[in-house]
Amino acid sequence: MSGKTDRAMKTAKDLLAFINASPTAYHAVIETRNRLNNSGYKELNEEDEWRLEAGGKYYTSRSDTALIAWQMGKQPAWESGIRLIGAHSDSPGFRIKPNAAYTKAGYLQFGIEVYGGPLIASWTDRDLSIAGRVLVEKAGTIQAMPVWIKRPILRIAQLAIHLNRKVNDEGLVLNQQQHIPPIVTLSNADEVVDRQSVINDIISEELQVQPENIVSWELELIDLQPGQLGGLKDDFIFSGRIDNLAMCHAQLVALQQVKKTPAATSMMVMFDNEEVGSNTAAGGASPFIRHVVQRVLESGKRPDHAFQRGLAKTFCISADGAHAVHPNYAEYHDSQHQVQMNGGPVIKHSARERYATDSDTTAIFKTLCKDVSVPVQHYIHRTDLPCGSTIGPITATNLGIPVVDVGTAMLSMHSVRETCGSADSAMMIKVLQRFFEKEDLWKV
């Protein structure tokens, strides 16, 4: 198997540590902040004046679920542009409804809503819990606190086969209102529950605050099984949220590994809400990226039109999952574009512009791979199947800059338990680091 060196396995374990620390986008941003703080990055608030210095390392976040981190280049940013990498912090799953608690047939249950496009059946009969963020009244102000309950308090139970005889032939069909609310505990069916206090009691106990001080929350269902290496020879990673925490991790590690300050500014972005279309304040379609990029390009002494001049030298790699060929469903993949796990980064193409890749951006990414002796693969969706999209086309539209959509190969995208190759992260990081450090992207 190619590329499964000691270094690659070390990277795979670090990726697992990152994912296992990040049950939600909110926690992924906390983990990223911690790692940035430990490597000399300084937090900036959007409301403050920024004094950016050559070589300086900074980050800022929005809505606590989107984050942009960058290292200023040696040259003024407008002069050499920004090397930008983007990924998304959110994963498909379920959100708890505001008035969630109700009793039915002797159980206490929570109403939940589907977030994005999860493979819903994969969430059944698993050890589930709750994580997210809670706003708490503390000393006269409202403060956000992360919450993560590490006991399996919820279950989406399947119907027994004896009551659903056709399930193995017809598949598990779940009505999203009726069949997915998890059971929480046993309860007298006639018991009148206070719909909000049930949840507030659970979180207040976890956070050691008074239930009446809880003002609001955003809570998700999470799977408690940690990600791990798998397969006979540890070829795989079995985990939730590989889409897209694997790429959040890869861009972060690449940024941290940048050695001498390059001429151009190096930047990574974690956008939220990709799984629901990116049209939010923290999503890829928001002006967040433009606001930060503009401030960076216009920092210090600058000529007229520094923003536009800098953008003209800015290039973006949008990194997200790619579909590896599935041996049991090989016919679902274009026969000439069957990408393999541990086969290196994948460039994603789409004539319908579901991916932003074009011949220029392909040339640059391919050359980066060649520079560091990493193999590269090409993915295209079957022509008769609608293709997914990602933040690449959105960023290209938002900033008007060249973008290449890439990713690492994975199976079961949007399952609660996805699979990717254990050697791919290290290869991707090598290429992303090269992207940050290479002086002239057009040089071969």
When the beta carbons of 126 and 323 are compared against Zn ion, the nearer one is 323
Q: Least Å distance between CB 88 and Zn ion?
A: 6
When the beta carbons of 109 and 244 are compared against Zn ion, the nearer one is 244
When the beta carbons of 70 and 355 are compared against Zn ion, the nearer one is 355
When the beta carbons of 56 and 86 are compared against Zn ion, the nearer one is 86
Q: Least Å distance between CB 168 and Zn ion?
A: 30
Which residues here bind Zn ion, judged by CB under 5 A? 243-244, 320
Q: Least Å distance between CB 57 and Zn ion?
A: 27
Q: Least Å distance between CB 91 and Zn ion?
A: 8
Q: Least Å distance between CB 79 and Zn ion?
A: 33
When the beta carbons of 244 and 314 are compared against Zn ion, the nearer one is 244
Cα-based distances in Å from 303 to 69, 75, 298: 25, 14, 9
When the beta carbons of 244 and 299 are compared against Zn ion, the nearer one is 244
3-class secondary structure per residue, the chain: CCCCCHHHHHHHHHHHHHHHCCCCHHHHHHHHHHHHHHCCCEECCCCCCCCCCCCCEEEEEECCCEEEEEECCCCCHHHHCEEEEEEECCCCEEEEEEEEEEEECCEEEEEEEEECCCCHHHHCCCCEEEEEEEEEEECCEEEEEEEECCCCCEECCCCCHHHCCCHHHHCCCCCCCCCCCCEEEECCCCCCCCHHHHHHHHHHHHHCCCHHHEEEEEEEEEECCCCEEECCCCCEEEECCHHHHHHHHHHHHHHHHCCCCCCCEEEEEEEECHHHCCCCCCECCCCHHHHHHHHHHCCCCCCCCHHHHHHCCCEEEEECCEECCCHHHHHHCCCCCCCCCCCCCEEEECCCCCCCCCHHHHHHHHHHHHHCCCCCEEEECCCCCCCCCCHHHHHHHHHCCCEEEEECEEECCCCCCEEEECCHHHHHHHHHHHHHHCCCCCCC
Q: Least Å distance between CB 385 and Zn ion?
A: 17
Q: Least Å distance between CB 35 and Zn ion?
A: 21
CB 238 within 8 A of CB 16: no
When the beta carbons of 184 and 394 are compared against Zn ion, the nearer one is 394
Q: Least Å distance between CB 114 and Zn ion?
A: 16
Q: Least Å distance between CB 92 and Zn ion?
A: 9
When the beta carbons of 118 and 182 are compared against Zn ion, the nearer one is 118
When the beta carbons of 269 and 306 are compared against Zn ion, the nearer one is 269
